[in-house]
């Protein structure tokens, strides 16, 4: 059942950004679409795939996919919000670094982040 763009029964699409994994890229932090489970990289990441997912799919509500974080963000309204617990897992694996994934993050990664 979808509640205003949130479907608690859909699991995440994987443990990393779908598009970065396909292209061999890297991310700073991860976001999970609350409607379809798509995992994309955050707005500070070089490719900003979570925002791109919103623009292309129209799914405006994302949740942090970082360990220990449970906040939601609405891209359309540019506001944080509360939402229900989504299907597990609730974050990428604890042994996966941020930025990540291991082995693909350049040494000068901080200079490549979006402000």
**Closest C-alpha to 92, from 31, 7, 6:** 31
Q: Tens-of-pLDDT digits for all 115 residues of the chain?
A: 456 889 999 999 999 999 999 999 999 999 999 999 999 999 999 999 999 999 999 999 999 999 999 999 999 999 999 999 999 999 999 999 999 999 999 999 999 999 8
Distance CA 90, CA 3 (A): 18
Q: Contact, 38 vs 52, CB < 8 A?
A: no
pTM, two decimal places: 0.95
3-class state of residue 19 by DSSP: helix
- The set of residues, in sequence order, having a beta carbon less than 8 Å from that of 114 and lying 6+ positions away, is 43, 44, 45, 46, 48
């Amino acid at each position: 059942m979808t509640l205003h763009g949130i479907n608690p029964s859909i699991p995440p699409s994987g443990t990393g950004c779908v598009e970065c994994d396909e292209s061999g890229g890297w991310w700073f932090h991860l976001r999970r679409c609350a409607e379809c489970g798509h995992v994309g990289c955050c707005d500070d990441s070089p490719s900003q795939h979570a925002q791109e997912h919103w623009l292309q799919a129209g799914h405006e509500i994302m949740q942090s996919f970082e360990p220990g974080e449970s906040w939601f963000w609405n891209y359309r309204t540019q506001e944080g919000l509360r939402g229900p617990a989504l299907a597990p897992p609730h974050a990428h694996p604890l042994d996966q670094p941020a930025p990540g994934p291991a082995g693909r993050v350049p040494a000068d990664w901080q200079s490549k982040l979006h402000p």
